[in-house]
Structure 1
Amino acid sequence: PDGSTIAYTGFDDREQGYQVTKLYVMNRDGTNARVLTDDFGHDVQNPTFTANGERIVFQYVDEGSTKIGRITLDGDRQVVAENVGGTSIGRPYTSGSFSLAANRRVAYTHATTQRPADVAVSRAGQSSRVLTSLNDDLFDQIEMGSVEEFTYESSYDGKTIEGWIVTPPGFDSSKEYPLMLEIHGGPFASYGPYFAAEVQLYAAAGYVVLYTNPRGSTSYGQEFGNAIHHDYPGNDFDDLMSGVDAVLERGYVDEDRLYVTGGSGGGVLTSWIVGHTDRFRAAVAAKPVINWYSWVLTADMYPYGAKYWFPGMPWNRRDHYMDRSPLSHVDNVTTPTMLMTGADDYRTPMSESEQFYQALQLREVETALVRVPAASHSIAARPSHLAAKVAHVLEWFQRHGGPSTDE
């Protein structure tokens, strides 16, 4: 606060897909730079000095749960607030924000599985207090799907994978329900125990919804996050299939009514899944990458993608790019697959979805292509687009044995 010390975030660049963002401080003239969170293992976000300059308050995600912490200039850490998030409305991504007052009280977005964000306040060593209940007038009239956290082992190497199961309103464990696997994007991102309109709408339609954090997800340390370096898609497929198997073991899912969807990196994995198994009755790949060779030559983030996600340029490492491309496995696809992408998406351009759509047409596999008008990569940013996305997914699945409105 007196301008003598600068706090900043960064990492020593090893050109890996995932690298933990650390907190540093240095003198104003650039001398005495040092890292404060070298052994922390989680990405530091939004560092803010306390008024006296003795501590730095910051945001981080720990195993799918966003928190607020503080640290002294000697590296002593303390948790200030938990259950932070609730600002990613569509899908259950980790999110949230905070503001720090001069008296060291923190105001932040408080999150649960049943509500979008409310405002809460907290101080280190004190209990948090939620100040608002902004959506109770609406949600008190609605029965929500219940969200259960669980862990399971990957069939590939026994890694522990965290996931969440959302059961429909009025759930009866003696009955059998269709299962929808919903996969997060990134791939270096994470889901958590948060309200998600899309997931709740799927549950309300009669699905048990499974979402997980397979290898490559952030918030579980650099080794876990970087387990897909130059190997994506790869054994994250095994992590996802093991999650489906773990839910099937509970006895309330109909193994003949399995469905899969995901967006961005989740769209990549959805497209990869249908090329590696026929266990799903239908799939919806939203804003996927289908051909890594063409993607790195057309997407907006091509300099980053080529440098950090691949071992070289596509014309020099063609086999590597194509081996990891869902397009290379299209001969194996029998699953009816819908593609959905924003017309103005520069991150995963429409040409990616068009390639898979036309390849499936050539193979006479049932498919559909949905162009979302005036939508960027944030395909569900508008409420109308979110509703339309969910409606398309549910309609496609209903055509292939999913629950009807009168079930």
Structure 2
Amino acid sequence: SSVFGDNAAPRGGRARSLYWSSDGRSLFDTGEKQGRTPLVRVDAQSGKVTEVTHGDQAVLDFSVNSNNAIVTLVSTPVEVGDLFTVSADGTQTRITDFNQKLWSQLNLTSPEEINYTSFDGKHIQGWIQKPPDFDPHKKYPLILNIHGGPHAAYGWVFDHEFQWMAAKGYVVLYPNPRGSTSYGQDFGNIIQYHYPGDDYRDLMAGVDELLKRGYIDEKKLGVTGGSGGGVLTDWTITHTDRFAAAVSQRDISNWASWWYTADFTLFQPNWFKAPPFEDPQDYNNRSSITFVKNIHTPVLFVLGQSDYRTPPDSGGEQLFRALKYLKRPTAMVVFPRESHELSRSGEPWHRIERLDHIVGWFDKWMMGVPHPEYDINPPTAANASSPD
């Protein structure tokens, strides 16, 4: 797999292929390792894994012919994807530069890798995407972007969303909290039966780490994420008021409701030890709707009308209704015809509009930019009267 987090390119029907070496003694594949996706060779007898490619990049796809000649499709934070040949010693030689003309018109910058220690000593890796012409002596607004999964990962790969948010003047922090892939099985599975929970504390430790660096405005903190990242966005704003704005995408706010309605069945006790009709308290304890009264952060919900993986009525719609009842600042955008794949392979105009809404919400609450489409228009005396 690769380290795309939530934002892989539109996915077709073809799965990635595996290739045998010409002598039949090893198998070529790709693997995740600490935010990187190298091409690897697996010894067919011993199972030993040897990295073929190296560096801060992601091998998205590859091909091997009968002579063991290798061509890879490589992505980095400043390159969507280009073809490289790979020699026996792992040396890569570029053979395409598809976006050279476009890139010459843009100011893309590589993120900074960050490694920090969480509350219990766990080491957390993440990345900081800074605005072009970043000045460490200035104060910038921060967007904490949380990946979904929860068993997925961010890493050294192109992500247009982070580059675009940075171009709008935001610093973007995108970490891999516990539960993320590419750090070993124990790190990934530690959240079993405890999700959400300590992964939230990993995320807050990352925000604290950036605040120590002095270039983040602590009054202009935003948080967003989709799917599992939406779960953690909801959880975050029910457990802290430090964020000035939040955008929750394709979320789950009520685990019991989701258990009954999602296309992702839980017939095996993977995330919960029992179904909600046998252990309702566990579901309540881990559902953000239980703590909705704690939400004071202005929150936008971005949902897909045809999302059966995280059905809207088990996620943002419940929190939206509750927050409206509580008269808390909130809005909801529902995209027609869109499934859980909205951010990845939704209709192109919807994908653009989604990004506009995410940054528009942050602009309104963190930058003071007027966005009347999110304002509540109080009724006038004429239309507030009761019908005859």
Same fold (TM over 0.5): yes
**Aligned partners of 1:389 and 1:172: how far apart in 2?**
29
For structure 1, which segment, 238-247 or 307-316, has the greater mean C-alpha deviation from structure 2 after superposition? 307-316
**Aligned partners of 1:403 and 1:127: how far apart in 2?**
49
**Aligned partners of 2:368 and 2:210: how far apart in 1?**
19
- Which residue matches 2:164? 201
- Which residue matches 2:282? 320
* SS of equivalent residue, structure 2 residue 353: helix
**Aligned partners of 1:392 and 1:311: how far apart in 2?**
37
Q: CA deviation at 1:192?
A: 0.1
- Which residue matches 2:97? 133
Paired residues of 2:61 and 2:73 also in contact (CA < 8 A):
yes
- RMSD over equivalenced CA pairs, Å: 1.7
Paired residues of 1:84 and 1:111 also in contact (CA < 8 A):
no
1:363 corresponds to which letter in structure 2?
L
Paired residues of 1:112 and 1:194 also in contact (CA < 8 A):
yes
**Aligned partners of 2:367 and 2:70: how far apart in 1?**
45
1:69 corresponds to which letter in structure 2?
V
* SS of equivalent residue, structure 1 residue 297: helix
- Which residue matches 1:358? 321
- Which residue matches 1:400? 365
The answer on 1:225 being equivalent to 2:188 is yes
1:317 corresponds to which letter in structure 2?
D
Q: CA deviation at 1:313?
A: 1.0
Paired residues of 1:295 and 1:302 also in contact (CA < 8 A):
no
**Aligned partners of 2:368 and 2:39: how far apart in 1?**
41
The answer on 1:104 being equivalent to 2:74 is no
- Which residue matches 1:161? 124
Distance 1:358 1:118, change over 3 A: same
Q: What's the TM-score, normalizing by structure 2?
A: 0.87
Q: CA deviation at 1:312?
A: 1.0
The answer on 1:58 being equivalent to 2:29 is yes
- Which residue matches 1:34? none
Paired residues of 2:54 and 2:90 also in contact (CA < 8 A):
no
The answer on 1:178 being equivalent to 2:141 is yes
2:52 corresponds to which letter in structure 1?
V
Paired residues of 1:145 and 1:204 also in contact (CA < 8 A):
no
- Which residue matches 1:388? 353
Gaps of 5+ in 1: 1-44, 87-94
Q: CA deviation at 1:386?
A: 2.3
For structure 1, which segment, 389-398 or 121-130, has the greater mean C-alpha deviation from structure 2 after superposition? 121-130
1:96 corresponds to which letter in structure 2?
L
Q: CA deviation at 1:83?
A: 5.3
1:128 corresponds to which letter in structure 2?
Q
* SS of equivalent residue, structure 1 residue 388: helix
Q: Deviations over 1:173-200 (max 9, x none)?
A: 1100000000000000000022111111
Paired residues of 2:56 and 2:156 also in contact (CA < 8 A):
no
Matched length: 351
* SS of equivalent residue, structure 1 residue 81: coil
Q: CA deviation at 1:85?
A: 6.4
The answer on 1:123 being equivalent to 2:94 is no
Paired residues of 2:25 and 2:45 also in contact (CA < 8 A):
no
Paired residues of 1:84 and 1:110 also in contact (CA < 8 A):
no
For structure 1, which segment, 139-148 or 337-346, has the greater mean C-alpha deviation from structure 2 after superposition? 139-148
**Segments ≥4 residues shifted beyond 3 Å:** 82-86
Q: What's the TM-score, normalizing by structure 1?
A: 0.83
Q: CA deviation at 1:71?
A: 2.0
Q: CA deviation at 1:404?
A: 4.6
Match runs of 1:303-382 below 5 Å: 303=266, 307-351=269-313, 352-380=315-343, 381=345, 382=347
The answer on 1:246 being equivalent to 2:209 is yes
- Which residue matches 2:381? none
- Which residue matches 1:71? 42
**Aligned partners of 1:239 and 1:129: how far apart in 2?**
38
Identity %: 41
Paired residues of 2:224 and 2:248 also in contact (CA < 8 A):
yes
For structure 1, which segment, 329-338 or 306-315, has the greater mean C-alpha deviation from structure 2 after superposition? 306-315
**Aligned partners of 1:303 and 1:258: how far apart in 2?**
35
* SS of equivalent residue, structure 2 residue 217: strand
Q: CA deviation at 1:390?
A: 1.2
Paired residues of 1:186 and 1:264 also in contact (CA < 8 A):
yes
Paired residues of 1:47 and 1:58 also in contact (CA < 8 A):
yes
Paired residues of 2:247 and 2:299 also in contact (CA < 8 A):
yes
2:108 corresponds to which letter in structure 1?
M
Gaps of 5+ in 2: 1-15, 371-388
Q: CA deviation at 1:383?
A: 3.0
**Aligned partners of 1:398 and 1:78: how far apart in 2?**
46
Paired residues of 1:84 and 1:108 also in contact (CA < 8 A):
no
**Aligned partners of 1:161 and 1:46: how far apart in 2?**
31
Structure whose residues are more often helix by fraction: 2
* SS of equivalent residue, structure 2 residue 341: coil
Paired residues of 1:104 and 1:123 also in contact (CA < 8 A):
no
Structure whose residues are more often strand by fraction: 1
- Which residue matches 1:213? 176
